[in-house]
């Protein structure tokens, strides 16, 4: 039995969540994104409706109802790197905006993604509020922190929390629990994702750069990725890419560094997208590299989403099948 379950995506970014769900067999109905440059990238890769602008200005009544609501909502209020204000921060109100969509659309599944620190923020109180608000709407509530290198077969150390909630009215199983995928063995290496050819000169560090001596001394292993830290170079000894961040797009030397037979250089935007699991046929527009770096750092790891979406689909199809059998027997 084939079901064409539909997805609506809030805080869509460049579409990492959307692509993961699409690859798993879902139909994308609409998405919303505020950042105008992320919208340029998104529209280059998807054909469905993209509503550009502030989610706070959206009225859920104006949008087509969907089966799955996804939201990689702003992580600043819950991030170690942020101000740790949680719901006191105005950006924390985004979660309550998501609740408006849940109340209006009553999706079969709510899929939320955030930084792993959400779990411990404010001694766990922030997470308690999220859990209570979702549960009191008669949804299940399951969550897990997954690392890209363990669940996406991508050599990228990236831990994120995923919250998955099913409408109990649809599942019709009081004991239902979403089972997260099993860890898998990492078979890809850094070198599988690094471009083999010489890239544009602007990505290389030439001898006239003040940190060249430090790079020459420290960046010695072609199987490793390095980070420049003002006065020293840090080697990632776990043979994976360190967590890519949005501030890669803020200039300086925030982009991870590698050595190749052509010299020392930064990862290119394409390589950063590869480390987030985007395929090479995912189109990168002709906008500044700083925007592309920011987009890659802000994105989710697409293969992790695809695995989760595939599990969600199995559960939805089982529930739909059982519901149909029940209706036939009445």
258 membership: H or E segment, kind and range: strand 257-260
Give the contacts of 209 (CB within 8 A, at least 6 positions apart): none
Give the contacts of 21 (CB within 8 A, at least 6 positions apart): 7, 9, 28, 68, 70, 305, 306, 309
Give the Cβ contact number of residue 316 at 10 Å.
Answer: 20
Is 39 assigned a catalytic role? no
193 membership: H or E segment, kind and range: helix 190-193
Which residue, 161, 136, 137, is CA-closest to 147? Answer: 161
135 membership: H or E segment, kind and range: helix 125-135
Residue found under tokens 């290198």: 149
The CA-to-CA distance between both ends of the chain, in Å, stands at 20
C-alpha pair distances (Å), 89 with each of 35, 48, 76: 20, 32, 9
Q: Are the C-beta atoms of 221 and 231 separated by less than 8 Å?
A: no
| Catalytic, out of 39, 75, 241, 272 | 75
Catalytic residues, by residue number, are 75
């Amino acid at each position: 039995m084939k079901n064409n379950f539909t997805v609506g995506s809030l805080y869509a970014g460049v579409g990492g969540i959307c692509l993961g769900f699409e690859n798993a067999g879902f139909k994308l109905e609409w998405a919303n994104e505020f950042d105008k440059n992320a919208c340029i990238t998104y529209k280059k890769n998807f054909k469905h409706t993209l509503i550009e602008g502030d989610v706070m200005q959206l009225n859920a009544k104006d949008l087509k109802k969907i089966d799955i609501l996804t939201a990689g909502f702003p992580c600043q209020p819950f991030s170690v790197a942020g101000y740790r204000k949680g719901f006191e921060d105005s950006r924390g109100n985004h979660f309550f905006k998501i609740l408006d969509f849940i109340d209006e659309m009553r999706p079969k599944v709510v899929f939320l993604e955030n930084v792993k620190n959400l779990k411990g923020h404010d001694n766990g109180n922030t997470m308690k509020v999220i859990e209570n608000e979702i549960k009191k709407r008669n949804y299940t509530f399951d969550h897990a922190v997954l690392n890209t290198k363990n669940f996406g077969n991508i050599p990228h150390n990236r831990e994120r929390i995923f919250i998955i909630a099913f409408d109990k009215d649809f599942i019709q199983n009081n004991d239902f629990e979403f089972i997260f995928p099993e860890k898998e063995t990492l078979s890809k290496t850094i070198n599988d994702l690094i471009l083999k050819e010489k890239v544009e000169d602007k990505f290389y560090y030439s001898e006239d750069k003040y940190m060249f001596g430090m790079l020459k001394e420290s960046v010695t292993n072609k199987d490793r990725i390095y980070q420049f830290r003002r006065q020293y170079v840090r080697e990632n000894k776990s043979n994976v890419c360190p967590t890519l961040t949005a501030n890669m797009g803020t200039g300086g030397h925030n982009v991870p560094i590698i050595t190749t037979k052509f010299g020392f250089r930064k990862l290119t935007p394409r390589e950063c997208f590869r480390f987030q699991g985007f395929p090479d046929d995912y189109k990168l527009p002709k906008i500044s590299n700083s925007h592309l770096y920011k987009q890659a750092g802000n994105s989710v790891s697409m293969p992790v989403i695809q695995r989760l979406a595939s599990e969600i689909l199995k559960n939805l199809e089982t529930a739909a099948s059982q519901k149909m059998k029940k209706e036939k027997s009445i």
